[in-house]
């Protein structure tokens, strides 16, 4: 039994935590608020927090001027496609390492991890050359492949740790019941691991959505996702705080919502099961 | 334990992932290694088709003797070190605070974690413009409110600003992992220490901190790997100016901006070696955990 | 049909030889129990028959045809696992129907068989629940249901009762025995509990270190154990083993006498000792006797109302026709 805590102490904790929490969250909050201001109010001195004329104008301007939807669509395709592809490749791999381990399984797992640590900048030019060679530069396909490859180790690892928690006897039971490998994975393993697979999908969608090295260097106009779209605001013209805020809000809102669902899995996924 | 049949099936199903990652690792790595020994300036007409001149280790020596090398190493170390110190110290404190009983814990957690989900380009631009802009930024207003002259953050205090931005992004990560680790601490241990007469500070120093040491190590190693490679934050804030050129950014400039592929590749090899040293330590810890 | 023959079967894991060459014949309709202490290779043997492990060498025949390399799904055997291994995401109905679905049976036949199994096993009330909502005994019944609907050539049970509490275990033991009588199908049952082996088996296979120590009916094993291991393993409380001068009187290195084959008295008997602990079970009393000079303690089973207590001197008479004689290697003599 936990000890009863005095109300006074709980109050102090609460106040301190809320103040710090809000301070950390403030830049996001400020961005969201600014997105509803006019450009003039966005830079007014002194700053206005809540009592301004709320407007949705910035959102429509952002869409009109830069075809925001196309970038959004690219982000969805790249993040969704790379995650889906990664899952399809990783589920069989994780199955075999979790349920038919060999002496080399541990080495393979660690080696896979090590590929994740390869500094991107070290292989930038080769990838760039290969992309030109195969006509993949600034294409959704090319970037989907790269994002899939950089996240594949994390996907395999997360699935592996989830699969390890499923008792092998149940898979053996399905074999005794006449299920082939395909049925075993499709009807028994996948439904049982569904929560784990869902968290893996979620986290990797977030990581792919936010990836900002390859997406900036391997795209131009056609396949650029939101990361590149936002980066185009780094050389501003005129007043743009409100528009930048609107664009930013749209770029991060879906991920913030998804991210809140995946807090717990985040730890497991990003520490490769070393902290649970 | 399994049958021959399932073992061969397992190999077959593991193959796609292994082959893909092997290709993803070996092909570009070999090319980088190859270029690093060549004179390769695409703007001056060098190309693979015409054949590249072998220059031995010239690129390697030129890379480390160039005037921008040591400053970039220093910048890298300062950024990585600064962010690590800030995120670990504040991460531990925040994790302990969030572990205390309070009202609305879930909500506070969400607030604290949120920055991690903000894409790097967004957070860099929001900080650069809406907070650090010397005229209209919120910090400028704050400085003026207290009668101080606004600071031109990204040029006059470029490194602290950059460290600040990157720390804001990574503090949630450190906090979340450390909080998870703290929650696994057996509360009876703390109660026993309290019975033994240890005051709060000693309990922190002798029980909580040692318990967290593994998690802290993991946070440091993982963050180091990601921080060595930070790119977007520099790309959209300073573009590498004002002494914010890290080793990664220097390599990026050599390769794509000045199109000296040979030189950049030599730098890339250095970066790969550096990252592998850190990775080796991380692997050890993760590997040990795998046995348990 | 369910005749299973193991011919010179071996199994090694890496360098560890778990099963040295082993022959075994299991007849159609037999209830065979593999019994032995943990690590004796009984579960491995069952998994070899199931096809969940490959044999290292040797041959397994099912109904006369070579099944050594046939995958588990194709051997026509059904297995009930220790953890029950129910599919947690499926209802009881779907769990039981799963093997039939895998066999691509038509839906009407599946429904008929599932309903039949459910009524036989008293599962009708839970048919739409998930395994997580069932008690241990109910889960066990679902696992059995999943096995019987396939009408397999043989059933394999891997310590199926070890996760149940004692009272439930006795009930399920009876149910499985009754099931066997009704279906008349071969059953192979693995357990470490000799009581289960004695009460359920037509034929017991006693395993020790991967080696078959003895095969026989429960009474054969009880009456004429082939060696000291079987003698000590079968029967509860354990047989008393006596070495030295007393054994030499019978021309043996070791003699064994079961606790229930010693009569006690307060005055007469060739053996005597002091009562240490007296366990009164009501129907029986177990005396653990010290200072007999024979075995320490010497265990004796007497009638429930025999009233010796701690510290009392007790006299004992062994039933001569029930003394088992063993040589220096522990093998039975005569």
pLDDT of C109 above 70: yes
pLDDT of A215 above 70: yes
Smallest Cα distance from C318 to chain A, Å: 48
Q: What superfamily in CATH does domain C4-231 come from?
A: P-loop containing nucleotide triphosphate hydrolases (3.40.50.300)
pLDDT tens-digit series, residues C287-307: 999 988 888 889 999 988 888
pLDDT of C252 above 70: yes
Report percent pLDDT > 70 for chain B: 98
Neighbours of A49 (CB within 10 A): 9
Enumerate the β-bridge partners of residue C157. Answer: C80, C189
Q: What is the pLDDT of residue A274?
A: 65
CA distance C170 to A103: 42
The verdict on a CB contact (< 8 Å) between C73 and A179 is yes
Residue C130: pLDDT band with limits 50, 70, 90: very high
pLDDT of B125 above 50: yes
B69-244: CATH topology: MetI-like fold (1.10.3720)
pLDDT of C238 above 50: yes
- C positions 69-98 inside 8 Å of B (CB): 71-72
CA distance A165 to A183: 20
Q: What is the pLDDT of residue B1?
A: 46
Q: What is the pLDDT of residue B292?
A: 53
- Structure token digits, residue C135: 């008690």
Residue C26 contacts by C-beta under 8 Å, 6 or more apart in sequence? C2, C3, C4, C5, C32, C154, C186, C188, C203
Query: CB of C113 within 8 Å of any CB in chain A?
Result: no
CB pairs under 8 A between B and C: 14
pLDDT of B10 above 60: yes
- Residue A92: closest C-alpha in chain B: B13
pLDDT tens-digit series, residues C163-200: 888 888 898 899 999 999 999 999 999 999 999 999 99
- Residue C71: closest C-alpha in chain B: B5
Smallest Cα distance from C85 to chain B, Å: 17
Question: DSSP assignment, residue A184?
Answer: I
Neighbours of A73 (CB within 10 A): 14
Average confidence (pLDDT) over A108-127: 85
Neighbours of C14 (CB within 10 A): 7
Q: Which of B117, B126, B272 sits opposite A27 (nearest CB)?
A: B126
Residue B165: pLDDT band with limits 50, 70, 90: very high
**Do C242-326 and C4-231 have the same topology in CATH?**
no
Query: CB of A165 within 8 Å of any CB in chain C?
Result: no
Contact A209, A255 (CB under 8 A): yes
Ranges of each domain in chain C? 4-231, 242-326
Query: CB of C13 within 8 Å of any CB in chain B?
Result: yes
Residue A260 contacts by C-beta under 8 Å, 6 or more apart in sequence? B110, B113, B114
Query: CB of C53 within 8 Å of any CB in chain B?
Result: yes
Residue A3: pLDDT band with limits 50, 70, 90: low
Report percent pLDDT > 90 for chain A: 21
Average confidence (pLDDT) over C311-315: 91
Tell me how far CA of residue B12 lies from CA of A137, B18, C51, C220, C320, in angstroms: 31, 10, 20, 51, 66
Neighbours of A62 (CB within 10 A): 25
CA distance A57 to A63: 10
Average confidence (pLDDT) over A15-22: 92
Average confidence (pLDDT) over A219-223: 81
Mean pLDDT of chain B: 85
Smallest Cα distance from B98 to chain A, Å: 7
Smallest Cα distance from C152 to chain B, Å: 22
Q: Which of B32, B103, B172 sits opposite A126 (nearest CB)?
A: B32
Tell me how far CA of residue A94 lies from CA of A86, B10, B16, B34, B97, in angstroms: 11, 9, 11, 34, 37
Q: By mean pLDDT, which of A256-265, B8-17, C125-134 is the weakest?
A: A256-265
pLDDT tens-digit series, residues C58-93: 999 999 899 998 888 889 899 999 988 999 999 999
Check whether domain C242-326 has CATH 2.40.50.140, yes or no: yes
Ranges of each domain in chain B? 69-244
Ranges of each domain in chain A? 7-57, 59-270
Contact C59, C25 (CB under 8 A): no
The verdict on a CB contact (< 8 Å) between C54 and B1 is no
pTM of the predicted structure, to 2 decimals: 0.83
Smallest Cα distance from B163 to chain A, Å: 15
A59-270: CATH topology: MetI-like fold (1.10.3720)
Helix or strand (DSSP H, E) at C251: none
Q: What is the pLDDT of residue A5?
A: 67
| Strand pairing class (C211-216; C16-26) | unpaired
Chain-centroid distance, C-alpha B48: 34
pLDDT tens-digit series, residues B199-234: 888 888 888 888 888 888 888 888 887 888 888 888
CA distance B165 to C313: 88
The verdict on a CB contact (< 8 Å) between A167 and C85 is yes
Query: CB of A185 within 8 Å of any CB in chain C?
Result: no
Q: Which of the pair, C20 or B3, is modelled with greater confidence?
A: C20
- Dihedral of CA atoms B226, B227, B233, B239 in degrees, nearest 10, equals -120
Contact C126, C92 (CB under 8 A): yes
pLDDT of B182 above 80: yes
Q: By mean pLDDT, which of A139-153, B48-62, C170-184 is the weakest?
A: B48-62
* Residue among A14, A18, A16 at smallest CA distance from B102: A14
Question: DSSP assignment, residue B103?
Answer: T
The verdict on a CB contact (< 8 Å) between C52 and A178 is no
Name subunits touching C (3+ CB pairs < 8 A): A, B
């Amino acid at each position: 039994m936990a000890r009863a805590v005095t109300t006074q102490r709980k109050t102090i904790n609460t106040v301190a935590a809320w103040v710090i929490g809000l301070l950390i969250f403030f830049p996001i909050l400020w961005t969201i608020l600014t997105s509803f201001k006019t450009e003039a109010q966005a830079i007014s001195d002194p700053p206005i927090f809540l009592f301004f004329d709320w407007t949705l104008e910035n959102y429509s301007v952002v869409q009109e001027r830069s075809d925001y939807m196309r970038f959004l669509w690219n982000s969805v395709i790249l993040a969704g496609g790379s995650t889906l592809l990664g899952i399809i490749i990783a589920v069989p791999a994780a199955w075999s390492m979790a349920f038919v381990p060999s002496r080399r399984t541990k080495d393979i797992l660690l080696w896979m991890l090590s590929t994740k640590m390869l500094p991107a900048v070290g292989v930038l030019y080769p990838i760039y050359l290969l992309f030109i060679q195969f006509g993949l530069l600034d294409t959704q396909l090319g970037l989907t492949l790269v994002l899939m490859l950089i996240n594949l180790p994390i996907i395999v690892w997360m699935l592996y740790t989830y699969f390890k928690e499923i008792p092998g006897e149940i898979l053996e039971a399905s074999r005794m019941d006449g299920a082939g490998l395909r049925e075993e994975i499709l009807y028994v393993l996948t439904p049982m691991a569904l929560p784990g697979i869902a968290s893996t999908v979620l986290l990797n969608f977030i990581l792919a959505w936010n990836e900002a090295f390859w997406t900036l260097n391997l795209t131009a106009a056609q396949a650029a996702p939101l990361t590149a779209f936002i980066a185009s605001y780094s050389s501003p013209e005129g007043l743009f705080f409100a528009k930048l805020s609107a664009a930013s809000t749209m770029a991060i809102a879906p991920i913030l919502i998804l991210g809140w669902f995946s807090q717990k899995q985040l730890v497991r996924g990003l520490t490769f099961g070393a902290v649970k | 334990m399994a049958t021959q049949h399932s073992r061969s099936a397992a190999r077959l199903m593991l193959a796609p992932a292994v082959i893909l990652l092997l290709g993803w690792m070996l092909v570009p790595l070999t090319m980088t290694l190859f270029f690093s020994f060549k004179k390769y300036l695409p703007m001056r007409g060098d190309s693979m088709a015409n054949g590249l001149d072998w220059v031995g280790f010239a690129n390697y020596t030129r890379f480390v003797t160039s005037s921008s090398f040591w400053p970039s190493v220093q910048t890298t170390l300062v950024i990585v070190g600064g962010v690590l110190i800030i995120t670990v110290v504040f991460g531990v404190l925040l994790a302990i605070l969030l572990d205390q009983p309070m009202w609305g814990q879930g909500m506070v957690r969400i607030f604290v974690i949120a920055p991690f989900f903000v894409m790097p380009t967004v957070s860099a631009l929001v900080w650069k413009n809406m907070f650090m802009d010397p005229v209209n930024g919120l910090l400028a207003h704050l400085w003026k409110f207290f009668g101080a002259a606004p600071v031109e953050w990204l040029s006059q205090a470029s490194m602290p600003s950059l460290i600040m931005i990157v720390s804001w992004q990574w503090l949630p990560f450190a906090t979340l992992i450390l909080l998870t680790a703290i929650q696994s601490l057996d509360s009876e241990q703390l109660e026993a220490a309290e019975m033994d007469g240890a005051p709060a500070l000693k309990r922190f120093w002798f029980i909580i901190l040692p318990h967290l040491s593994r998690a802290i190590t993991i946070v440091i190693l993982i963050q180091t790997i990601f921080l060595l490679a930070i790119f977007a934050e520099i790309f959209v804030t300073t573009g590498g100016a004002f002494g914010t050129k890290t080793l990664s950014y220097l390599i990026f400039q050599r390769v794509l901006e000045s199109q000296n592929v040979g030189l950049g590749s030599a730098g890339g090899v250095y970066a790969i070696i550096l990252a592998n040293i850190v990775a080796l330590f991380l692997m050890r810890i993760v590997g040990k955990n795998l046995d348990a | 049909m369910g005749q299973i023959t193991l011919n010179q079967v071996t199994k090694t894991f890496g360098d560890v030889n778990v099963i040295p060459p082993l022959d075994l014949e299991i007849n159609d309709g037999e209830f065979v129990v593999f019994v032995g202490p943990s690590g004796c290779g009984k579960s491995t043997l069952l998994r070899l028959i199931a096809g969940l492990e490959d044999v290292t060498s040797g041959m397994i025949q099912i109904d006369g045809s070579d099944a050594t390399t046939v995958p588990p799904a194709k051997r026509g055997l059904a297995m009930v696992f220790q953890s029950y291994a129910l599919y947690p995401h499926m209802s009881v109905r779907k769990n039981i129907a799963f093997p039939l679905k895998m066999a691509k049976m038509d839906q009407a036949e599946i429904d008929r068989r599932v309903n039949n199994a459910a009524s036989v096993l008293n599962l009708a009330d839970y048919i739409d629940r998930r395994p997580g909502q069932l008690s241990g005994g109910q889960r066990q019944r679902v696992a059995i249901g999943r096995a019987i609907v396939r009408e397999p050539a043989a059933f394999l049970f891997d310590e199926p009762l070890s996760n149940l509490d004692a009272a439930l275990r006795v009930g399920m033991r009876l149910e499985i025995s009754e099931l066997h009588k009704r279906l008349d199908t071969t059953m192979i049952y693995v357990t470490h509990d000799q009581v289960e082996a004695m009460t359920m088996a037509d034929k017991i296979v006693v395993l020790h270190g991967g080696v078959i120590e003895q095969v026989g009916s429960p009474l054969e094993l009880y009456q004429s154990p082939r060696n000291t291991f079987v003698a000590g393993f079968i029967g509860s409380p354990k047989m008393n083993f006596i070495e030295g001068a007393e054994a030499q009187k019978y021309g043996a290195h070791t003699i064994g006498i079961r606790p229930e084959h010693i009569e006690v008295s307060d005055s007469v008997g060739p053996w005597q000792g002091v009562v240490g602990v007296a366990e009164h079970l009501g129907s029986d009393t177990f005396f653990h006797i010290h200072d007999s000079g024979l075995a320490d303690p010497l265990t004796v089973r007497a009638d429930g109302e025999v009233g010796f207590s701690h510290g009392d001197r007790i006299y004992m008479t062994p039933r001569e026709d029930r003394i088992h004689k063993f040589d220096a290697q522990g093998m039975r003599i005569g």
